[in-house]
Structure 1
């Protein structure tokens, strides 16, 4: 199943990030895009999510310097754009993979594209990793560990359900029962022609 591979790659990316465990570390993709483009994209996608996860932790520090917070907010904005771009790259991969499928007359469209489901799967991998940390944290109370273990069980069930849904969607697309129709996100707040604040600065 596709999600078996995706979940494995997500674990690799998260575990490799935590070897150094700093948002400023250099990124190196262990998958060559010329040899296995989808693995390359999945690893990069989860690395972006992992760095942003820790950006979000840092910016919530009540003692953070306001200037540092603004700098970090800019990094989060850039990371969000990278995340969206990666989702669109992954969907482009699937569009190309299934371009020759004969779509059935009664085929239907899904509420989200495969890559946006995969985006949620990547975030779930991070939730599972960090909730497991909390459920096994030795300096936490037993009550805290028990609560986190209960939450971890729910996350694992959610990941299994989402994995099944993604694999089913990909199978339906491959057999012509579903078809892909991808819309670009068209984010407006980063565009200096569409964001009125940025547009006014240019004048």
Structure 2
């Protein structure tokens, strides 16, 4: 498991989505549910659908009822995204359970899965900025600005990949350690969101 493995799975998910480019396309995860590849593919599929829902919701022609429906779908997508990240971190925690951190080991505030979350979103940015660079109907100025942003994103891709691989190496060597913190999201929980539970009290 390394950054190249993860990024290749993220790119595969993005390419698979764009075969239809339709937010109603159901996921067809090609990996076994027992494989970390399954979770990585699922994570990026969630991100990819949400990316396009965020585009749709900004249409000036969208009806108010459609907007509300999609906003609620985005809320649920965020919950699915968080749940999947936590599943990935649980996988890492299990992988590292036999490693005894050194006495001087540092706690890493960002877990491997939350770093993968950033890497997944970055692959979406790279895909869509490449689209802008290759758009035939735009001006040279638009294309040049998109190319400049793409160059920055490519640098970020390299940096995040290095950071991810370094983090895993440090954890394996006992130089850093991780903890799985649950996100404790409140807004979807009818017992914790005051707008939802106030009608029940």
- Report the TM range for the smaller structure's normalisation: over 0.9
CA RMSD of aligned residues (A): 0.9
Q: Distance in 2 between matches of 1:183 and 1:27?
A: 27
Q: Is 1:23–2:23 an aligned residue pair? A: yes
The equivalent residue for 1:166 is 164
- Between the two proteins, the alignment pairs up a number of residues equal to 201
Runs (5+) with no aligned partner, structure 2: none
Q: Distance in 1 between matches of 2:109 and 2:100?
A: 20
For residue 99 of structure 1, report the CA deviation from its aligned partner: 0.2
TM-score computed with the length of structure 2 as normaliser:
0.98
Displacement over 2 Å in runs of 4+: none
Please give the secondary structure, in 1, of the residue aligned with 2:51.
helix
The equivalent residue for 2:189 is 191
The equivalent residue for 1:97 is 95
Q: Distance in 2 between matches of 1:7 and 1:139?
A: 30
Equivalences for 1:54-203 in 2 at 5 Å? 54-203=52-201
2:109–2:178 Cα contact (<8 Å) kept:
no
TM-score computed with the length of structure 1 as normaliser:
0.97
Q: Distance in 2 between matches of 1:130 and 1:108?
A: 37
Q: Distance in 2 between matches of 1:172 and 1:201?
A: 49
For residue 202 of structure 1, report the CA deviation from its aligned partner: 2.5
The equivalent residue for 1:10 is 10
